C-alpha cells in the first residue's frame, strides 16, 4: 500500500514538474478569473476557493498561494483547484492576515505571469452552513425544487426536502431562529399544503388558514426566545411585463401580519397589523425581541396601480411576556418621501443594523433589476446603500450570520437570469468587504450547467436533523394541527 501511494505521489510530482514556469512574461494586469475572488475577505473555515481562468486561450495554469505568516500551496494543472486539507491548514495558519496568489498562464509553450492578488482571512468565525431553496426560474409552473443544506467548509450539499417526495408539492419560506435549526418553520404548498413546524426535535404539520385570516401563513421570522414566530398572510398574484426589462411582477392584493404561539397553537392578532386600507408584510423581530419590524404600504387598486405601491419600513412594540402589541406604529423609513420601496428587513442579531432591499416599487424585489441592498444604522438612524456589494443587477434576499459579522445574499449579477449566492464580511466599524460567490469544486463547469436559482439563503450553526420518511408520510396524510385565533 505504501509503495502504491509513493508511486501516485511521484507521478503527481512528475506531472507538476513537467510544466515548470520558465522565464514568464510579467504583466501588471490582474488575471481574469471566475469567480472573481481578487481582494475578497473570507472566513478561515471556508471551502477551497477554486477558480477558472477566463482570459485568452490557455493550456495550463500555475498558481502559487503563499501565506503572509507561513505555508504555501502550489498548483500546476488545467484549473486552479486546491486540496481541501492543505487549504484549511493554510487558512488556519494565516487567520487574521492574508494569502498572496501568483497566477501564471501557459499558452503555446509561453508563460505569462499576472499581477499577484490577495485574499484576506478574517479571524471572525462563520456558521456551519447555509440552507437555501433551489428552483428553476419558471413562472406559472415549477419543476423539481428542494430545500438544501451546504456545509460551508466543504463542497458537500444534501437535500433536506424535495418536491419529488409528493407530486405537485412546492417548498418555500424556510426559517430558523437566529441560525439555530432546532427551531424550523417551512411552508408546503399544493394539494397537501401545510406548515412544517419543528422545535427541538419535535415536529408537527399545521393548517394555519382560519376563517379570520387571508391565507395560510408565509414569510416567517422567529422571536429570539423561540416562544413566538411572526408570519404574514398574503393574497398574491403575478402578471407579466410586455415592454419592460423585468419579466414578471409579483404583487399582493392584500396582506396582514400575525404572530403564532407554538405552545398554544394560537394566532395573536392586532388591528394595527390588519388594516384593510394597508398592505403589511415581511415581519422581523428586533434583536431583543421587544419590537417587530415590518413593511407597510397604503393600498391602491390592484393590479392597475401596481407600480405606485411603495412599502415603508415600520415597527411596533411587542411584549414577549404576555404576547401583546403596543397601540402605536412608528415609521422608520418613509416610502412616500424616499420614493422607493422597502422589502425583506433583516435586523442584525447584535442590534446594530437592519439590512433591507430597496427598489422602485412593490415588494417582490427579486425580479427588479434596480433592487439593491441598504443598511439602516439603528444607533444613529442613518442609512446607506451597501455599494461594496451592490451591482447593476438584482440584489435581493439576505440574512445574517449568528455573530452578525457575515451576511449572505442572492444576486443576478452573474448572467441577469439566475440568482447566485454571495457572502460578505462586515467589520466592526460598519465597512463591508468585497463579497465572494459561494465556492464550488469546479466553479465554471458547475455554474454553467446549473439551471436552478438559489433563493432564501439562511445560515445554520449546525446540521439540520429531519425524519424524512416520517415527514413524507405525514405530508401525504390529511392529518393537520388546526391553529386558532387567541381570544
> pLDDT digit string (tens) for 342-377?
999 999 999 999 999 999 998 877 878 999 999 999
Superfamily of segment(s) 129-476:
TolB, C-terminal domain (2.120.10.30)
> How many residues are given for the chain?
487
Overall average pLDDT of the 73-89 stretch: 97
Peptide bond into 35 cis (omega under 30): yes
Q: β-strand 60-67 against 383-385: which pairing, if any?
A: unpaired
Q: Give the span between the Cα atoms of 71 and 92, in whole angstroms.
A: 10
Which of residues 279 and 9 earns the better pLDDT score? 279
Residue 112 has pLDDT above 70, yes or no: yes
Amino acid 10: pLDDT: 40
Nearest residue to 49 (alpha-carbon basis) of 30, 68, 29, 63 = 63
For residue range 184-204, what is the model confidence (pLDDT) as tens digits? 999 988 888 899 999 999 999
User: 327: Cβ–Cβ under 8 A, 6 or more apart, which residues?
Assistant: 272
d(CA 121, CA 384): 26
Distances (CA, A) of 358 to 44, 220, 249, 455: 32, 20, 16, 17
pLDDT digits (tens, 9 = 90+) for 168-188: 678 888 999 999 999 999 998
Q: Sorting pLDDT into bands at 50, 70 and 90, what band is 240? A: very low
Task: Using the predicted structure, report yes or no on whether residue 234 has a pLDDT greater than 80.
Answer: no
Name the band, by pLDDT with cuts 50, 70 and 90, for residue 141: very low
pLDDT, residue 14, reads: 40
pLDDT given at position 19? 77
* Res 6 pLDDT > 50: no
For the stretch 40-77, pLDDT in tens is 999 999 999 999 999 989 999 999 999 999 999 999 99
Of the given ranges (38-52, 242-256, 300-314), which has the lowest mean pLDDT? 242-256
Say how far apart CA 141 and CA 160 lie, in whole Å: 22
pLDDT value at residue 246? 53
For 388-420, what is each residue's pLDDT tens digit?
999 999 999 999 999 999 999 999 999 888 999
Q: How confident is the model at residue 151 (pLDDT cuts 50, 70, 90)?
A: very high
d(C-alpha 89, C-alpha 339), whole Å: 50
User: Per-residue pLDDT for 241 more than 70?
Assistant: no
Determine the pLDDT at residue 12. 42
Between 245 and 16, the higher pLDDT residue:
245
Residue 247 confidence class, pLDDT cut points 50, 70, 90: low
Give me the residues paired with residue 74 across strands: 64
Comparing 103-112, 229-238, 262-271, which segment has the lowest mean pLDDT?
Answer: 229-238
Q: Which helix (H) or strand (E) holds 404?
A: none
Q: Place 245 in a pLDDT band, splitting at 50, 70 and 90.
A: low
HSE of 308, CA atoms in CB hemisphere, 13 A: 8
If pLDDT is split at 50, 70 and 90, which confidence band does 164 have? Answer: confident
Alpha carbon distance 67, 98 (integer Å): 6
Residue 50 has a pLDDT of: 98
* pLDDT band of 212, cuts 50, 70, 90: confident
pLDDT at residue 478, as a whole number:
87
Which pLDDT does position 248 carry in this prediction?
Answer: 55
**Which strands make up the sheet holding 395-400, listed edge to edge?**
395-400, 406-411, 420-425, 436-437
Which CATH number is 24-122's, of 1.20.120, 3.30.1370, 2.60.40, 3.40.50? 2.60.40
User: What's the burial of 368, exposed, middle or buried (CB within 10 Å: 0-12/13-18/19+)?
Assistant: buried
Q: Exposed e or buried b for every residue in 89-115, given b needs 16+ CB within 10 A?
A: ebbebbbeebbebbbbbbeeeebbbbe
Domain segments of the chain as ranges: 24-122, 129-476
The residue with greater pLDDT, 236 or 282, is 282
**pLDDT at 157 (0 to 100):** 97
- Strand segments (E) across 68-123: 72-77, 98-107, 110-113, 117-122
The whole-number average pLDDT for the span 90-115 is 96
Output the nine-digit C-alpha cell for 430.
460598519
Distance spanning both ends of the chain, measured CA to CA: 73
The pLDDT of residue 75 is: 97
Amino acid at each position: 500500500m505504501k509503495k502504491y501511494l509513493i508511486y501516485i505521489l511521484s507521478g503527481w510530482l512528475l506531472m507538476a514538474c513537467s510544466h515548470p514556469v520558465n522565464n514568464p512574461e510579467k504583466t501588471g494586469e490582474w488575471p481574469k478569473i471566475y469567480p472573481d475572488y481578487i481582494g475578497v475577505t473570507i472566513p478561515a473555515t471556508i471551502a477551497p476557493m477554486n477558480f477558472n481562468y477566463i482570459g485568452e486561450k490557455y493550456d495550463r495554469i500555475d498558481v502559487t498561494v503563499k501565506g503572509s505568516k507561513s505555508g504555501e500551496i502550489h498548483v500546476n494543472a488545467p484549473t486552479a483547484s486546491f486540496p481541501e486539507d492543505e487549504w484549511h491548514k493554510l487558512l488556519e495558519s494565516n487567520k487574521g492576515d492574508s494569502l498572496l496568489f501568483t497566477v501564471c498562464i501557459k499558452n503555446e509553450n509561453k508563460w505569462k505571469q499576472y499581477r499577484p492578488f490577495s485574499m484576506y482571512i478574517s479571524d471572525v468565525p462563520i456558521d456551519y452552513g447555509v440552507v437555501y431553496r433551489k428552483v428553476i426560474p419558471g413562472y406559472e409552473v415549477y419543476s423539481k425544487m428542494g430545500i438544501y443544506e451546504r456545509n460551508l467548509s466543504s463542497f458537500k450539499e444534501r437535500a433536506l426536502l424535495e418536491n419529488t417526495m409528493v407530486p405537485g408539492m412546492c417548498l418555500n419560506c424556510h426559517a430558523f431562529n437566529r441560525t439555530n435549526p432546532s427551531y424550523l418553520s417551512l411552508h408546503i404548498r399544493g394539494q397537501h399544503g401545510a406548515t412544517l413546524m419543528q422545535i427541538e426535535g419535535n415536529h408537527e404539520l399545521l393548517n394555519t388558514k382560519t376563517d379570520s385570516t387571508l391565507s395560510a401563513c408565509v414569510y416567517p421570522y422567529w422571536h429570539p426566545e423561540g416562544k413566538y414566530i411572526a408570519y404574514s398572510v398574503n393574497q398574491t398574484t403575478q402578471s407579466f411585463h410586455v415592454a419592460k426589462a423585468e419579466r414578471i411582477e409579483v404583487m399582493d392584493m392584500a396582506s396582514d401580519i400575525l404572530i403564532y404561539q407554538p405552545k398554544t397553537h394560537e394566532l395573536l392578532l392586532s388591528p394595527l397589523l390588519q388594516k384593510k386600507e394597508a398592505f403589511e408584510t415581511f415581519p422581523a423581530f428586533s434583536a431583543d425581541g421587544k419590537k417587530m419590524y415590518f413593511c407597510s404600504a397604503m393600498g391602491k387598486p390592484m393590479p392597475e396601480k401596481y407600480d405606485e405601491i411603495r412599502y415603508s419600513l415600520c415597527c411596533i412594540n411587542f411584549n414577549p411576556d404576555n404576547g401583546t402589541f403596543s397601540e402605536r406604529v412608528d415609521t422608520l423609513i418613509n416610502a412616500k418621501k424616499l420614493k422607493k420601496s422597502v422589502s425583506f428587513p433583516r435586523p442584525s442579531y447584535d442590534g446594530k443594523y437592519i439590512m433591507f432591499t430597496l427598489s422602485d416599487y412593490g415588494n417582490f424585489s427579486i425580479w427588479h433589476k434596480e433592487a439593491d441592498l441598504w443598511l439602516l444604522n439603528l444607533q444613529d438612524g442613518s442609512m446607506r446603500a451597501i455599494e461594496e456589494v451592490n451591482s447593476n443587477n438584482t440584489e435581493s434576499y439576505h440574512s445574517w450570520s449568528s455573530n452578525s459579522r457575515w451576511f449572505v445574499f442572492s444576486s443576478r449579477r452573474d448572467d441577469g437570469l439566475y440568482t447566485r449566492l454571495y457572502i460578505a464580511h462586515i467589520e466592526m466599524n460598519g465597512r463591508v468587504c468585497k463579497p465572494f460567490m459561494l465556492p464550488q469544486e469546479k466553479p465554471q463547469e458547475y455554474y454553467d450547467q446549473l439551471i436552478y436559482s438559489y433563493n432564501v439563503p439562511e445560515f445554520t450553526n449546525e446540521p439540520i436533523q429531519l425524519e424524512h420518511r416520517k415527514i413524507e408520510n405525514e405530508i401525504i396524510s390529511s392529518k393537520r394541527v388546526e391553529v386558532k385565533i387567541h381570544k
